[in-house]
Amino acid sequence: MTEQTEMEIAGVKFKGGKIFLVLTALSTLGGGAYGAFEVYKDYMDMKEIIANIDTTEIQNQQEQITIKLDEAIDYTRDIKSGLRDDILAIEKAVDRMEDKLRESEQETRDIIQNAEERFENKRDALQNDYDEKANKLRDSNDQRMDDLEDKVERTVKDLEDRLNTRLQRALDNPLAN
């Protein structure tokens, strides 16, 4: 048989695998104690740092930040008011432009309407002049035709009368031929 290793710690004897269990527990306790010591040391350092903090400096910085924040808020309000005024001015300008556009559009329509009326009047006047001149020309031609017909009729009648006269003379004097 094999002989087991034995160890005695604080009057207590440990054999075999229990030794490893005890060593593990002791090393865990030692590591925990070291960790607690480091945390306590950091805590004490932090406590000293906190004790040395100058609260008046922090208060002054906070007051300066508050003043700058108030100034920024006032500046933002000024910008907002300025933008509102600019927008209102632009809206008024747009309204004026729309009114001018409507007025200009109405004037243009009136001009077109007047031009159409003048064009129609001029066209009617030209048509009337044309009709009047055509009627005068027709009347003049009719008069000329009537005059020509009258002249032709007179000439034919005159010729007929002369012919009849000669014929009658020739018939009255058969020996004259």
d(CA 98, CA 89): 14
Residues 6+ positions from 13 with CB-CB distance below 8 Å: 6, 7
Structural domain contains residue 103: no
Measured CA to CA, the distance from residue 43 to residue 35 in angstroms comes to 12
CA angle 42, 46, 51 (to 5 degrees): 150
Q: Quote the pLDDT of residue 1.
A: 39
Structural domain boundaries, residue 12: 1-53
Does pTM surpass 0.85? no
CA distances from 166 to 6, 41, 156, 160, 169 (A): 196, 174, 15, 10, 5
Reading the block at residue 125, the tokens are: 């006047």
Domain assignment of residue 49, yes or no:
yes
Q: How many domains is the chain built from?
A: 1
Q: What stretch of H or E contains 95?
A: helix 55-172
Is position 148 within any domain?
no
Maximal CA-CA distance, the chain: 211
Asked whether residue 24 carries a pLDDT value surpassing 80, the answer given is yes
Domain-embedded: residue 70: no
- Does any domain span residue 38? yes
> Does the residue 171 lie in any domain?
no
Spatial distance between the Cα atoms of 115 and 118, rounded to a whole number of angstroms: 5
Q: Residue 22 domain-assigned?
A: yes
Q: Which residues contact 9 (CB under 8 A, 6 or more apart)?
A: 22
- Work out the percent of the chain whose per-residue pLDDT is above 90: 42
Q: What's the rounded mean pLDDT across residues 18-32?
A: 82
Tokens for 144? 């000329």
Residue-wise pLDDT for 138-151, tens only, equals 998 988 888 888 88
Does some domain include residue 63?
no
